[in-house]
Amino acid sequence: MGDNRMTVLKAMAFGTSIATTLAGLVGGGFLLGRFLDQRFGTQPWLSLLLMILGLGLGGCYLVVTLRKFGVTDDKK
């Protein structure tokens, strides 16, 4: 029973880590882009560009992290 509980807690921590990292990358890209847009007068282009870049980096992080933990669709 205790071993199963630790597995569930690890899975929850893993999912929370991925979600917060993805949200942080997208939100950080948006905030940095908004700041740079105000500074250079390029609204809304840098906000959109950096937000999309954050989304792409989050996707890469997701793939790398899932491969690291061995979560794949490959059948062995």
Report the C-alpha gap between 60 and 45 in whole angstroms.
23
Report the C-alpha gap between 46 and 44 in whole angstroms.
6
Give, for all 76 residues of the chain, the pLDDT tens digit. 567 887 888 889 889 999 999 999 999 999 999 999 999 999 999 999 999 999 999 999 999 988 887 765 665 5
Helix axes 2-40, 45-68, angle to 10 degrees: 160
Report the C-alpha gap between 23 and 54 in whole angstroms.
9
pTM comes to: 0.81
Domain locations along the chain: 2-68
Report the C-alpha gap between 43 and 49 in whole angstroms.
11
